[in-house]
Structure formats: structure tokens, C-alpha cells
Structure 1
């Protein structure tokens, strides 16, 4: 009788340990998904701020008319792009990066740095560009962490991720115009 009772307690102990491990793993995965949502929201906020800074530069009157129009159109497209990251959003962000690179040529940056308003606007654009780069890196790191954890066998076998889609990295050109980058 005591041998049977020992086996029952041993099996019960193993079941409790497995249940605890699965619960811990599910909670960890949930925390990673919450972190992922936070990094995506931060990236969206930084992209909006970059587009607003670009629009401010375009409407400042410090650039020539054609450059201002190109930059304003790219910033407007970025602001109006769908919030889901994918084809249309990433194309709009690429276009804004190209427009900023075009607008902030060495001559334009020199002209802008000659005025107080120009220095202020350049500072905001530079800060916004840097923050976009950092936010995209943080988000892509969070995606990598979630994907790595979701590939583990307990999560796949016990379907701990539920029906949550596998996250994807956000890929677009976020390079700061080289003449704006700090030395």
C-alpha cells in the first residue's frame, strides 16, 4: 500500500512541476507579447513625430519651394499611412527618409544652420530621426525574442501562444541624412 502511495505522490509531484513550468512559460510569453506591443506603439509614436518634424521643416519657409513640396508630400503620406506595419506603411517611411535625405543636402544644412529657426528645426528633425532608429531596433529585438521563445518545443506542443500571429520585424530605410548626423 505504501508503495502505491509513493508512486501516486511521485506522479502528482511530476504533474505539478510540469503544470508550474507550463504556467511560467505561458506567463513569460505573455510578458514578451506585452513588451512587443509596447515597442510597436513607441515606434508608431516616433514615426509620427518624425513626420511632424519633417512637415515643420517643409513649412518653415527655409527650403526652396520644390524641396518643401516633396518633403511635405512625403511627410503627409507618412502621417496618413495605415498603422499596420507592412507594405504601404514601410513604403511611406522609405519615401520620407528619401525626401529628408534630398532636402538635407550639405548646402541646405549649411543654410539652415545659419539661422536660429533653422538650427531649431534641424535639431528636432535630427532628434526624431535618431529616435526612430532606436525605436525600430528595440521593436525588432522584441520580435526576435518572441520568435525565439515561440520556436521552443513546449510552446509549440502545448499551443501556449494560442492564435496570436507570429510577429514580423519592421523593415524600412531609417538612415538619418548623413549631413545631419552628429559628428
Structure 2
């Protein structure tokens, strides 16, 4: 082979390598954007769930003690959300800022308040309590889906970032590795 052929082959290999690295970096950027969007959707779903829980607590369909516990847990969830969005950009670092405990606590209160006879009583009562309960069920399902979509997106980013080419050429830049969000989001059984 002549020198010209070696140069042509080397340039072709370098071109393919540059294309692959550019493609991988763009894909990783899109995946990070997907995680950010999923985190925003999860945050919005959690706010809607807390608002629906507060609506149910204030509807008068529950006994006063249960309503107070539910209102307290929902208010804590809403306060944690508000604090986080004002103090720190929601998408920066993709941390959930310890909200897992607060959201799990709201789920525990919902399960305790709406399981068994109490939930059937509210459901059969109709009126504002029944409408609030339907809204709460819908928002609870959306929370489960949003958390699942977020965690799937995070796992995909983690998988891509574990590749050698991404690590060696630092294609992720200075972006933090996103983490999954784990909390109890089970729906109350009635």
C-alpha cells in the first residue's frame, strides 16, 4: 500500500470515530433532556396528588382526625415542592431533595385513611368527597406512571454513560449522573 492509501484509510477511520462520538454525545444530551422532562412531569404529578389529597381532606367526607392527618401530610408535600423549586432549580442536578420520605408519608396516610370501610364509605357517598376521591385515584395513577417513566429514563442514561467511549472521551461533560426516585406510591385499596 502506498502512503496515500494509508492516509485515506486513516482519515476514513478518524471520520467514522468523530461521527460516532458526535452521535453518542447528541444521544446522551437527548437522554439527559428526557430525564429532566420526566422529573418535571413527576413533580407536577406529585403536586396534583397533594392538591387532590388536600381537597379530599377539606371535603368533609372524612372524620376530623383523619382529615387533619391527611391535610397535614398533603400540606407538607406541597411545602416541600414549593421550597425546592424556589431555592434550587428543579432540573439542576436532578436531585429529589429528600422528598421521597415526604411523599411516602403522604402515601401511608392515604392508605390508612382510605383503606377498607372508610374508603368504601367515601366512595359510595358521592358528592364532593366522591369527586375528590376520583381525582385522587387519577392523580395517584399518574404519579406511578411518571415515576416509572422517570426511572426508566434514568436507567437508560446510566446505561449509556457506563459505556467506555462515553467515559474515556467524557461525552457527558460535567453533568451529574441522574439517580432514580424511590418512594412508596401505592394506591389505597378499597
TM, length-normalised to structure 1? 0.93
- Residues 38-62 of structure 1, C-alpha deviation per residue, up to 9 Å, x if partnerless? 1100000000000000000000011
Between 1:74-83 and 1:169-178, the stretch displaced more is: 74-83
The question of whether the paired residues in 2 share the 8 Å contact of 1:86 and 1:170 is answered with no
The question of whether the paired residues in 2 share the 8 Å contact of 1:133 and 1:174 is answered with yes
Moved over 3 A (4+): none
Distance 1:113 1:143 in 2: 37
- Displacement of 1:178 in angstroms is 1.6
SS at structure 2 position matched to 1:114:
helix
Structure 1 gaps, min length 5? none
Aligned match for 1:125, one of 136, 144, 149: 136
Structure 2 gaps, min length 5? 86-94
Aligned to 2:112: 102
Superposition map of 1:136-175 within 5 A: 136-175=147-186
Aligned to 1:70: 69
Distance 1:17 1:105 in 2: 60
Aligned match for 1:134, one of 145, 152, 164: 145
Aligned to 1:91: 101
Q: How many residues align?
A: 177
- Displacement of 1:8 in angstroms is 1.1
Distance 1:113 1:40 in 2: 31
TM, length-normalised to structure 2? 0.90
Over aligned residue pairs, what C-alpha RMSD do you find?
1.2
